[in-house]
Amino acid sequence: MCLITWAWKAHPRYPLILAANRDEFKDRPTERAHFWPDAPDILAGRDLRAGGTWLGITRQGRFAAITNHRDMRKVRPQGPSRGLLVREALERDIDPSTTSGYAGFNLLYGSVDALRYHNNIDGRDEALTPGIHGLSNALLDTPWPKVVRAKHGLDELMNASEKALVSGLFDLLADQATAADDQLPDTGLPLEQERAASAIFIRSPLYGTRCSTVVLVGKTGSVYFEERGVADGTAVTQRFQIG
């Protein structure tokens, strides 16, 4: 997952509004979002290589989503798949002190009414503050151009009806505009790849946006979850009540 923007406790009808793009190598086997047979309270896509996920929500109202922290100059530790950490956070409380062995990540996790942010770069673990936030492959709210555009786009949709909000968020997630070279972050990628990765929606032959997801949690605990796949254009939609 390489871009997440969300409004938390900032909307009168929806305590959580979230839009996210999952960016991944196109040959990595994946299952679309579904309630897992071996963990039937979890609604999430599934990484078939390691068994974890990148974003999910449970019937009890636990939520978790992850982005990689990108610094190509650092040696990546040969730790467990970061997607397993998302599954753990969906099933139980996590101990932030045990996450240093994973490759660099940002994790949004907790119950939808008490979300937290954790990373294993500076070790931060903190309660979220109400407002509009964004995550890409740097730390929380780092003003990369794609994060700034995504947060601004979400802010402009805050007064929309549910139908217009969902449609507008998916339009936002489909934005393929790249940043000017003088605005690009320097994460160690070659310039051409850094430029391609600056788009909200990444399109390239081997790596790019695989799916887009919108989640709305209402103040009465209603959940609207929609995932749209890029390869086949199909959508998975689920509605349920947190209980």
**What's domain 3-241's architecture?**
4-Layer Sandwich (3.60)
* Residue range 160-187, pLDDT digits in tens: 999 999 999 999 999 999 999 999 999 9
* Angle of helix 145-156 versus helix 162-173 axis, rounded to 10: 160
Return d(Cα 66, Cα 1) in angstroms, integer.
6
* Residue range 100-138, pLDDT digits in tens: 899 999 999 999 999 999 999 999 999 999 999 999 999
Angle at 102 between CA 227 and CA 6, to 5 degrees: 35
